[in-house]
Amino acid sequence: MALYGRKILAAGRCVVSFWSTAIRTRQILIRLPSVIRRNWISVGISSGLCAVPFVQDRVSHEALIRRASSLVTDSANTFLSQTTLALVDSLTQYTKAVHTLISLHRRYVVNINRLNPADESAIWQVILNQREELLRYREDCKQFETKWMNAVNLTQLAAEAAFNAGADQASVTAQTNLQLAQTHVEQARQRSLEAEQELKDSKAEVSQRLQNTSPAVEGNEEEIPEAYLRED
CA distance 39 to 23: 18
Quote the CA–CA distance of 101 and 132 in Å, as a whole number. 10
Residue 218, phi-psi category: left (phi > 0), alpha (psi -120 to 50), beta (remainder): beta
Closest C-alpha among 50, 68, 75, 78 to residue 162: 68
Structural domains of the chain ordered from first start: 62-210 (1.20.58.70)
Q: What is the overall mean pLDDT for the chain? A: 77
pLDDT for residue 46: 39
Q: CA 228 to CA 232: how far, in whole Å? A: 9
- Which of the pair, 211 or 187, is modelled with greater confidence? 187
Query: Which of the pair, 33 or 114, is modelled with greater confidence?
Result: 114
Q: For the segment 85-110, what is each residue's pLDDT rounded down to a tens digit?
A: 999 999 999 999 999 999 999 999 99
| 165 Cβ contact list (under 8 Å, min separation 6) | 62, 65, 66, 68, 69
Its pTM stands at 0.66
Q: What is the pLDDT of residue 9?
A: 43
Nearest-angstrom CA–CA distance, 214 and 46: 88
